[in-house]
Amino acid sequence: MPISPARTIALEVLRRVEAEGAYASDVLHAELGSRVTLENAALATEVTFGVLRWRRLLDFLLDRQLKKPIARLDLPVALALRIGLYQLRFLERVPTRAAVNESVELVKRARKSSAASLVNAVLRRASAENPEAHATTEANPIERLIPADLPLADRLGILHSHPTWLVERWLKNLGEADTVALLEADNRTPNLSCALHDPLQRDEVFAAIKSAGLRIEPPHLLKSAFAASGGSPARTEPFRRGLISIQDEASQTIPLLLGVESGEAVLDLCAAPGGKTPPLVRAAGSRGMVVATDRHAHRLRAMRNQFERLNLEGVQIVELDATHDFPFGRLFDRILVDAPCSGTGTLARHPEIRWRLSQEQLAEFHILQVRILASAIQQLAPGGRLVYSTCSMEPEENEDVVSEVLKSAPTIKRAPQNEVTKSLEPHLVPGLDAQNLVDANSQVRTSPATQRTDGFFAAVLIKTGATKP
């Protein structure tokens, strides 16, 4: 029996995510070449990310039908079961017969024919259990299947498919209502947001995207952003010509906080894959200088490719470990520290992170981030501005890092709140108050639950002393 390319691709992507530690978005980009139809690309993407988002709930339901936990099954068998059950529970337009039979064929293709009858029986029993249940409905029948005596964090973790330890900390930090809102946001398909590099080309870009069969949707944060649906913007002419980039709106916001002016020297640390560098280059202009660094050579190559697509010239790319002393013989007017982090603000876009991350790693990230920020401020010129940012929701990686570094850096201060809001106001969509994004410590926060973007944190810091003439 033939298997649809979509399900074959989904199985391979999920296998590599699980076995090799790959990221689903990267593997999908490689797998979904021009020979894959838009229909198959859409189904492969939906199944891949759906299985990753809902893995804990799927495993909970599958374990009810198995004699041994799904975690003890061979990986191809476990993945075929998850793929089948995800379609049965979440994709109403996929016939039960297709979801079950193709999962059976997947394990045969993976040379696990001995498990074919198991996959067939388990999925048929699972489809018969509360067949009307749909995990995204408001009155969720699955709640009845969860033991009533489970602690709240376990219960929410199963229902919303997150690890218990992460739910526990969010309940402590955010409260139950905000935690549930964040869990729900993490399981929504995120907007495919794009950055428009030249506002004067808006009409031309939008016309080309629409002619490619995509729909244009309005932004949530920035006037220069937009969302696209109904296909991939990467397959359009504006993307190939470097007129647009695919980038979350919260990520697009971070470079704006630096307030780069023409002629300034800018240092972009941990810059790969380079999404935040282009607006810095354009703002600095031909009289300015932008140095973009990263410690990994392969990420620098990806950044160079990105800059070539954008026809971006004049960027100095440097391989650099930002935790050590820098080799530069000068100070910089503006510095962006987009620090490596846990990525808990991107769990909708990168759902595999929730199954890889451990609580102990947050402390490790904190140490790394403190070292990078402490090194970076040594390169900041008097009167200069530095932005420290992460795509994390965790205090240890955000305000705790800034507070720790500021204790031993008397010349570094937080920028006044009104300066931060003023740097944002010209760029925000009409009706959005910049003060809703900036707290009393001049720290900018976005949330998947509130802004429907990735969850970002940014602190704006300035160095006291005479400014440049």
Q: Annotated catalytic sites, by residue?
A: 391
User: Are 100 and 59 within 8 A, CB to CB?
Assistant: no
| Strand 457-463, strand 412-414: pairing | antiparallel
Q: Are strands 193-196 and 244-246 parallel, antiparallel or unpaired?
A: antiparallel
| Separation of alpha carbons 182 and 348, rounded Å | 10
Pairwise CA distance, residues 256 & 265, whole Å = 15
CA 233, 237, 240, 243 torsion-angle sign: negative
Peptide linkage before 273 cis (omega within 30 of 0): yes
Token digits for 301? 């190559």
CA distances from 435 to 105, 237, 422 (A): 55, 37, 9
Which one, of 56, 115, 58, 139, lies nearest residue 91 by Cα? Answer: 58
Amino acid identity for residue 336 in this structure: L
Task: Read off the tokens for 112.
Answer: 């696990």
